[in-house]
Copies of this chain bind each other. A is one copy, B any other.
Amino acid sequence: METTEEQTSEFDRGIALAERPGEPDSYEGHLGAGWQVAAAVNGGLLLATVGNALRRAFQRDGHPDPLAVSAFYLSAARPGPAVVRTEVLRRGRSMCTGTASLVQDGGAGPVERVRATATYGDLAALPSDVHTAGAPPDLPPPERCLGTEQAPPGFAANVPILERLDLRLDPDCVGWAVGKPSGRGLLQGWLRLADAREPDPLMLLLAVDALPPAAFDLGVTGWTPTLELTAYVRALPAPGWLRVRISTSHFAGGLLEEDAEVWDSTGRLVAQSRQLARAGRP
């Protein structure tokens, strides 16, 4: 189906892929400068991009949705052309598993940016029972949370992705932005795409890595590049705001884990993730 640029959202254009003629299971995309954090393209956008390639590989088998995706970030992706190649590992009745590799021209030749493995299925076909011991973050309404336009001057200047997102952080979790981290390692807030494109499983792959690092709340400043991130998509999200909570508990040896939970507007957990990231000293 052809759609014009006017009809598609920024996010759908951001993860768009075209089949490479004569190269089966190979796709070409363009990583937009608008999805950068500092000089690198955001890891969540990369996850959604490789997730989009695997969706194309598996949706014809009736397995359109990522259930579990693990990505290793091998080198920082830059704005510009990218090629994604997929390989099917297993086609099952209820689930399929495959790998996707995102590669860019590194100047002296192709350089792999991301290697992902993922299991796909059909979220709509799963049994409807839900038992959860957790609860969505307890947040003030979006209009009483802090949008990035209220961030200190210069905060968003180096983070173009913030313009693609409507992110409203819990005022109780933003002390780090004025030099007063709480030390809890916790950030939470409301999230939707700035152009109001509704959430779906691929957008959830962006959502799990869309907030500022939880490490900021430990007083760790600067870039915390992800080494590995695993996301589980647990349900099809309802339209509307998402609530996202990220937290970190163990900082050691210059590495920390960050857990994310994404809850939809009906109060259902729709995605969870954990990543291992590298950071300076707190």
Contact = CB atoms under 8 A, between A and B. Distances in A.
Contacts of A130: 251-253
Contact of A254 (B126, B185, B232): B126
Interface string A214-245: 00001000000001101010110000000000
A209 interface: no
A255 B126 contact: yes
Contacts of A72: 68, 70, 89, 97, 117, 119
Give the size category of A's interface with B.
Answer: 35 or more
Interface in A75-97: 75, 89-90, 95, 97
Interface stretch (A9-17, A146-154, A171-179, A274-282): A274-282
Interface in A116-136: 117, 119, 123, 126-134
A117 B117 contact: yes
A230 to B, nearest CB: 4
B257 A232 contact: yes
Contacts of A230: 70, 228, 230, 274
A217 to B, nearest CB: 11
A60 interface: no
B235 A252 contact: yes
Contacts of A70: 70, 72, 117, 228, 230
Given A130-B252, A133-B184, 18 more contacts: A67-B276, A70-B70, A70-B117, A70-B230, A72-B89, A72-B97, A74-B97, A97-B115, A119-B227, A119-B228, A127-B281, A129-B254, A133-B250, A134-B249, A134-B250, A230-B274, A250-B269, A252-B269
5 contacts: A130-B251, A130-B252, A131-B251, A131-B282, A234-B253
